Structure 1
Amino acid sequence: MRTPPADVLPESAAAVLAAAGVGAGSRVCCALSGGVDSVVLFELLRRLQPRFGFSLRAAHVDHGLSPNAAAWARACAERCLAAGVPLQVFRVEVERAHADGLEAAARAARHAALAQVDCDWLAFGHHQDDQAETLLFRLLRGTGVHGAAAMRAVEPGGAGRAGRLRPLLGLRRAQLLEWAGAHGLGWVEDESNAELRFTRNALRHRLLPVAEGLFPAAVPNLARAAAHFAEADALLGELAAIDAAACGAPVLCRADLLALTPARQANLLRWLLLGSGAPLPGAAPLGEALRQLRACEPAHPLRLPLGAWVCCAYRDRVWLEPAQPPAPQALHWQGEAAMHWGGDEVRLVASIGAGLGRGCLEDAGEVLLGPRREGLRMRLHPARPRRELRKLCQEAAIPAWLRDRLPVLWVDGEPAWVGGIGVAAEFACAPGAAGLVPEWRPGGVTPAPPP
C-alpha cells in the first residue's frame, strides 16, 4: 500500500535510523541551528525516539557572525526546554581570514565544536537539495570520486569520533517546508543565506534554478549521481584494501607498492589517508610524491609533503605520518602499563624471560621515558661494545627525521631501551625471570613508522 503523504518524512527518517542500527542505548545529538531543516529534523527525532529507544539531545553553534545570533540561540533553547531535550550551546570564534573563505571557516569551527559532544551519532538536517548543491560545488572544484560521492545518509564513527546521520537526505526542501507548515513549526531565517557573495548561495539561487529550468529532475538526478559515485568509491576502497594487504600494510613494501599501476598507487595512498582521518591532498602533490618514489633509489630517504601529512620512504619501506606530530614530553614511570609519547603510546607488556628485567625497573631510583640525549650509546648484546645511536638507527632502517622522536627509557640515567632499536644488554630480562617488553605504538599514523 502506498505510504500516505503525511508519513513520508517520519518513515524516511526512520529508515535511515534503522539502517544505522540506532536503538535502545544509542545517544543521538541533533545539530540544531534553528532553521527549518534542523527544526524539522529535531521534531522528527523527538517523535521517533519512543519507537527506537535512543536518548536525544541537541547542540547549537553560535558563530557570532550575525546580529541575530543570540536570538537564534534563545529560540533553540526554548524549543528544547519545551520538549524536555538537553541542549548544549557552543560559542565559537570564526577565522575571518581563512584561506578558503568565511563559509569554510564557519563550517570548520562548527564541526570542531560539534566534535566535542559526547554522543554516538550526530544528526544533521541536510536534504536532497543540499546534496545536489554539494555535488555541483565539488565537481566545479575538480573533486575526485570520493568527493563526488558528496554526503552519505549514514557515516559510521570510529576512533572516538561520533557517527553522522542525515535522515532527511532523500527528501526535497519543499517537502520539509510543507511538513513544517502543516505541523505549525516555527523557525528562524539566517539572512546570510540570501547573500550571493557566498559560493554555495550563488549555486543555490543562480545555478540550480537554471539547471532545473533545463532539466526539471536536476536535483534528484544529481543526488542519484552522488549515490553512483559513492558506489564507485566503495569499490575503490575494496581494491585499496586488497592492495594494502598485498603490500604488507601497515608498513608498505616499496617494491610491491611500485609494482602497482600508478592509478592503484594513488588510490592506495588516498585510502590510507582517509582511514587515518587525514585530509586528502590535491592531485599535484600526490602525483609528485609518487613520481619521486618511482625515480629515487631506495637508499635515498624521502619525506614527501601531502598537505597536512607526509609520505615517508626509507630503504624498502613506505609509510604515512602527520607533517607535524605532537611533541613528546618526558614522563616518569610509576608502574604504568602504558605511557603517552607525543601522539604515540609506549606500552610495557608483562612477559617471562623477554624484554627488560622487571626488577631492574622496580629497583631503580628513576625510570624516565624521554628523548635521546647527546652521545647516547648502547650495547644490544653483552659480547659487543656500545655503539652510537646513529649507527644503530642506520642498521634498524630508521631515517634521520624520525630519530628525534624515538622514545628512550632511561633507568638511573642509562638508556635501557630505545624505540625501534631494542633493549640494552645490561637491562635484558634473564631467562625465566619476570620481564616487561616495551612496545612503541605510533598513534594516528597509518602506516606506522618502522618498528
Structure 2
Amino acid sequence: MLAAAGVAPGETLCVALSGGVDSTVLLHILARLRGRCGFTLAAAHVHHGLSPNADAWLEACRASCDILGVAFHPFRVHVRRDDPAGPEAAARAARHAALARVPCDWLAFGHHQDDQAETLLFRLLRGAGVRGAGAMADVERGTPGRLRPLLGLRRAQIAAWARARGLTWVEDESNADERYARNLLRHRVMPVLEEAFPGTVPVLARAGAQFREADGLLGDLARLDEAACGGATLERAKLLLLSDERVRNLLRWRIRAMGLEAPARARLVEAVRQLRAAPEQALRLPLGAAVCCAYRGRLWLEPEGGRAVHGTTVWHGEAELPWGAGRVVLAGAVGEGLSRAVLDRAREVVLGPRWAGLALRAGVGRPRRSFKNLCQEAGIPAWLRDGLPVLSVDGAAAWIGEFGVAAEFRCAPGEPGVVPIWER
C-alpha cells in the first residue's frame, strides 16, 4: 500500500498516535517496515486535556516511541467544552491543526473498516452529499499526504494482532460515553444492524468507495463544464445552457477548489433560480463562505468579504500585477492602450483602488466624469465598484477596469503601447 501511494525512500511518515490499539498497531507495523522501505518514522500525540488520564496517555505514547526509536512530537491544545460545534468537533479541529504543524511528508492514521462504516452512516444521517458519503480514502495526496493503511481491516482483527504480540495500549473512557453521536452509533446502532444484516460493515465500506468514485466523476464533469463555459470567469449564457444539477455541481466544485466549505444545497438551488430568473441582471449571491457574482455576461466566484482591494502596487515594467484574487495583465501592443512613452517618462505608475475625487475623461474633447457617474451610467452595481482596479500615472487616473484608458494617456496610431487586461 505504501508503494502504491508513492511513499519514497527518505520521506518522513508521522503516525497520529492516540495511544489506542489502532494507532499503536500502526506504529509497530510501520516501525517494522521502515528499514525495508527506507522511510523515516515519527509519531505525534495531541493532548486535549479533556480526560484526567491525558497526561498518562501522553507518557505512554512517549514510552512506546522511545522503545521503537521513533521521533516523538507531543502537542498540548486547549479545547473549549462549551464550543458551539460541540466538544467532539472542537477536539477534532484542534487535533488536525496540531498535526498540520508536524514536519513530515505523510500523516498516517489508524482508521479501520469499522471506523469507515460508522463515518459513512454518521454523515448520511447528517444529510451528506456524494462527497461526504465517500467517507475516508486510504490515500489522500497533499502537503502532507494522508495514509490509512489499516482501512481494509476490522477492529477485531487489529486487536487480535496486538494481543498476539503482547502489545499494550491505552483505553479512552470517553469512547464508551453514548452521549456522543459516534459512540451511540458504535455501541447501539451498529450491533443491531450487523445482527439483522450480516456483513453490514464491509458493505458500508464498499458503498463509501463507490461514493468516492462517483465524487471523482462529478469533479471530472465539473472540469469539462468549466472549460466549455469559458474557464475561470464563466460565460453566463453558456453556463445557463447546462441543467440545474450541472450548474450546482460546477459551482460547488469551484468553491471547494478555492479551499472553502461547500454551501448547503438550498443556497445553491436558490442561486441558480435567481440566475435563470434574471439572465441579464447584475447579481451578487451569497453562498456562505463564497459569493457568486454575475455581471455583463460573466460569472465568477470570490471569497465572502474579499471584494474590496485596499493595497497598492508600484509597476516597474512587469507583465502582470496581482489584483485581489486575480491579476491585471499589461500586454504590449502597437497603436492601442496606454502610451508606452508616457509610462516610461512617469515618476510613478501605481495599481490600486479608487480614491475620493477619482475621475476619467473617456475621449478627446469629452468632459471628465466622476467615478460615481461613470459607474451609474455603465450600470455597474455598488458591490462591484470597490474592487475595480485603477492604474494611476503620477497621481492621475490613466486606466480604470471596466472603463478603459483615459484620453490623455491613450496611445497614438503606430506608437508602442501597453494594454491593461483585468483578469478576475
Determine the C-alpha separation between the residues in 1 that align with 2:204 and 2:76: 35
Determine if the alignment matches structure 1 residue 175 to structure 2 residue 157: yes
8 Å Cα contact 2:15-2:27 kept in structure 1: yes
Does the 8 A contact of 1:254 with 1:316 survive in 2?
A: yes
SS in 2 for 1:405: coil
Correspondent of 2:229 among 247, 252, 255:
247
Offset, 1:279: 1.4
Give the aligned length.
421
Query: How far did residue 211 of structure 1 move?
Result: 0.9
Contact in 2 for aligned 1:330/1:368 (Cα 8 Å): no
Q: How does 1:269-418 map to 2 (within 5 A)?
A: 269-299=251-281, 301-325=282-306, 328-331=309-312, 333=314, 344=325, 346=327, 369-379=351-361, 386-390=368-372, 399-418=381-400
Match 1:147 to one of 128, 132, 136 = 132
Deviations 1:242-300 (A, max 9, x none): 2222222212222222222222222222222222222122221111111111112412x
Equivalent pair of 1:121/1:164 in contact (CA under 8 Å): yes
Counterpart in the other structure of 2:28: 43
Q: Is structure 2 residue 94 aligned with structure 1 residue 109?
A: yes
Q: Which entry has the higher C-alpha Rg, 1 or 2?
A: 2
Cα shift at 1:136: 0.5
Report the Cα offset of residue 198 of structure 1. Answer: 0.6
**Contact 2:331–2:421 under 8 Å retained in 1:** no
TM superposition shift of 1:392: 5.3
SS for the counterpart of 1:303 is: strand
**Partner amino acid for 1:314?**
Y
Aligned counterparts of 2:259 and 2:265: Cα–Cα separation in 1: 18
Structure 2: where are the runs of 5+ without partners?
Answer: none
| Partner in structure 2 of residue 190 of structure 1 | 172
TM-score calculated relative to the size of structure 2: 0.85
Structure 2 CA distance for aligned equivalents of residues 39 and 164 of structure 1: 17
Q: Secondary structure at the match of 1:372?
A: coil
Provide the C-alpha distance between the structure 2 equivalents of 1:326 and 1:38, rounded to a whole number of angstroms: 45
- 2:133 is equivalent to residue 133 of structure 1: no
- Unaligned residue ranges in structure 1 (runs of 5+): 1-14, 442-448
Which of these residues, 30, 33, 40, is aligned with residue 18 of structure 2?
33
* Cα distance per residue 1:208-248 (max 9 Å; x no partner): 11111112211111101111212222222222222222222
Q: Distance in 2 between matches of 1:362 and 1:184?
A: 78
Partner of 1:61: 46
The answer to whether the Cα contact below 8 Å between 2:331 and 2:420 also exists between their aligned partners in 1 is: no
- 1:385 offset after TM fit, Å? 5.3
In 1, Cα distance between equivalents of 2:375 and 2:145:
41
Normalized against structure 1, the TM-score is what? 0.80
Moved more, 182-191 or 278-287: 182-191
Structure 1 Cα separation of the partners of residues 166 and 5 of structure 2: 29
Contact 1:332 1:366 in 2 (8 A): no
229-238 or 396-405, which moves further after superposition?
396-405
Once the two structures are overlaid, the 10-residue window that deviates more, 135-144 or 403-412, is 403-412
State the 1:26 CA deviation: 3.5
Deviation at 1:80, TM superposition (A): 3.2
Q: Find the aligned partners of 2:338 and 2:14 in 1 and give their Cα distance.
A: 47
Q: Percent identity of the aligned residues? A: 60
Identify if the C-alpha distance between structure 1 residues 395 and 131 changes in structure 2 by more than 3 Å, giving closer, same or farther. farther
Residue 49 of structure 1: CA displacement?
Answer: 2.5
Structure 1 SS opposite 2:386: helix
Distance 1:397 1:27 in 2: 56
- Say whether 1:93 aligns with 2:74: no
For the aligned residues, what is the CA RMSD?
A: 3.4
**For 1:129, what is the secondary structure of its paired residue?**
helix
